[in-house]
Amino acid sequence: MKRVELYARVRFAVQIEGISARAAAERFGINPRTVAKMLKFSVPPGYVRSKPPFRPKLDAFTGVIDAIMLADKDRPKKQRHTSKRIFERLRDEHGFTGGMTIVKDYVAGWRQRTQEMFVPLVHPPGHAQADFGEALGIIGGVERKIHFLAIDLPHSDAIFVVAYPAETTEAFCDGHVKAFQFFGGVPQSILYDNTKIAVARILGDGRRQRTAVFSELQSHYLFTDRFGRPGKGNDKGKVEGLVGYARRNFLVPIPVFESFEALNAHLLACCRQRQGDRLRGREGTIGERLERDLAVFQKPLPAPYDACDKRAGRVNSLSLVRYRRNDYSVPTAYGHQQVLIRGYVHEVVISCGAEIIARHPRSYEREDFVFNPLHYLALLEQKTNALDQAAPLSSWVLPEAFATLRRLLEARMGAKGKREFVQVLRLMETFTMDDVAAAVRDAIERGAVGFDAIKHLVLCRIERRPPRLDLGVYPYLPKATVATTSARSYMDLLAGVAA
């Protein structure tokens, strides 16, 4: 290909000096047709194909390749055909005799021609986008998957990120509550993908049937919902970018925290710090542009939404209620009754009617049993033979004084000592373990080993008054006999001393 400098010299000779094209060809030693092209183009035009290339071995199979590539669009990305796999199928299934290179070139060109194009968008203030992301983290010394809700305000690029143990309904709602509190208002609208937490069903005309919980959340905060096209993440490209940004910048290296509360404090600090950044092509900092978002947010904030998953349940014969594949205990008095289970991010609350009958830390294991030993003490008072094999008490760590108390009670009272010991444990239904344990130690020191004495000592400890124990109510304790002093005995004693 001739250089641009030669183009300039030939064009100058012909158009400025006025020599003929044939003379220019002779002067510069080039073909007259080349001179004509140089006069037509000021710079080398490059190779221009006049018609599509002829591929005798491939052309008969391009329709097969096109069909394979179109079908792949509906398949998972990790299970789509590679150029090598397409070549192997053409060879084995269709009798293709060409090489892999021409197949590879055709597939690359097909993918380039079918790449989606996008329109630059402008985002008015007051709107948001939301999505979940995933990352690895070490929480409480255990490596686990972290699910984080990311909320982006496209106008200002302000962000909010909060992490949870799982991508659940209660986490979705709790994340919105925390985001609205962080921003100090509610966006006019929020754009989502078609998550099952919010969308129960996509109807034939494209309308979304909302889930009950999402409808409650929307009714509470009165924001408008918007949904992207199924499988089209670019419809909410701002928050899709935020998910990757948060993972790369807030969660690298792998975060190590004692609890999710500590991790979320770190994420909150990162979100606040980012408000001081100034992004390319934007006027002012993120925090300054956030003011325009907040100016059109809905204010003031209503009372926080009760961010939980509500489900009806029934207490079984073991006084357990099942929620999300795990069993949680309730007091045995509520056996076989209908209850309402409210699952929060870190807590499970069980109610019967208007009364809350149990609270437990939330378990994210599978087929786990979460017991409160106090729930079974009333039943164990009747069935004392189950005391040593009761699963709810097997992992209950009690102070050493309780083991000493049980040994003394059973030694002095036999089988009734077990029941008396359970009655002492039931004091923790009303009083704290520390107060009951202190009363048990005090009773052992005084030799007043019994339920009534320990209860009295607990009350005295709480009311801050000295104990007054009537040992007459403990017939099984050893008694001291004190005789009446007589004058004769006293005189005999004196005579013995004198002698």
* Residue of 122, 158, 128 whose CA lies nearest to 298: 128
Backbone angles phi, psi at 194, to 5 degrees: -95, 50
Residue 365: pLDDT band by 50, 70, 90 thresholds? very high
* Residue of 440, 329, 432 whose CA lies nearest to 390: 329
According to the model, what pLDDT value does residue 187 have? 96
Q: Which two tokens stand for residue 9?
A: 């010299």
**Average pLDDT rounded to a whole number, residues 409-419:** 90
Residue 233: pLDDT band by 50, 70, 90 thresholds? low
347-352 vs 338-343, strand pairing mode? antiparallel
**Average pLDDT rounded to a whole number, residues 87-106:** 94
- In this structure, the dihedral spanned by the alpha carbons of residues 334, 336, 338 and 344, taken in order and rounded to 10 degrees, is 70
Question: Distance between CA 202 and CA 25 in Å, rounded?
Answer: 72
Residue 264: pLDDT band by 50, 70, 90 thresholds? very high
According to the model, what pLDDT value does residue 67 have? 94
Q: Cα dist. 90→56, 79, 93, 96, 386 in Å?
A: 15, 18, 6, 5, 72
Taking a C-beta distance cutoff of 8 angstroms, is the pair 454, 436 a contact? yes
CATH superfamily of 127-295: Ribonuclease H-like superfamily/Ribonuclease H (3.30.420.10)
Q: Is a pLDDT exceeding 60 seen at residue 170?
A: yes
> In sequence order, which residues have a C-beta less than 8 Å from that of residue 344 and are 6 or more positions away?
170, 174, 307, 308, 362
Record the pTM: 0.74
According to the model, what pLDDT value does residue 120 have? 77
Q: Which two tokens stand for residue 89?
A: 């199928």
Write out pLDDT tens, residues 34-65: 999 889 888 888 777 777 778 888 989 999 99
Residue 498: pLDDT band by 50, 70, 90 thresholds? low
According to the model, what pLDDT value does residue 91 have? 94
User: Which of 96-105, 406-415, 480-489 has the weakest average pLDDT?
Assistant: 480-489
Determine what percent of the chain is predicted with pLDDT higher than 70.
94
Question: Distance between CA 315 and CA 330 in Å, rounded?
Answer: 8
According to the model, what pLDDT value does residue 209 have? 92
Question: Distance between CA 305 and CA 397 in Å, rounded?
Answer: 37
Q: Which two tokens stand for residue 34?
A: 């080349």
Map residue 210 onto helix, strand or coil: strand
Question: Distance between CA 21 and CA 10 in Å, rounded?
Answer: 9
Residue 285: pLDDT band by 50, 70, 90 thresholds? very high
Q: Is a pLDDT exceeding 70 seen at residue 407?
A: yes
**Average pLDDT rounded to a whole number, residues 439-461:** 91
Q: Is a pLDDT exceeding 70 seen at residue 471?
A: no
User: Which DSSP string do the residues of 118-152 spell out, in sequence order?
Assistant: -------TTEEEEEEEEEEEEETTEEEEEEEEEEE
Write out pLDDT tens, residues 139-152: 999 999 999 999 99
Give the rounded distance of the alpha carbon of 174 from its chain centre: 10
Map residue 351 onto helix, strand or coil: strand
Instruction: Compute the mean pLDDT over every residue in the chain, rounded to the nearest whole number.
Output: 90
Residues in the chain, overall count: 499
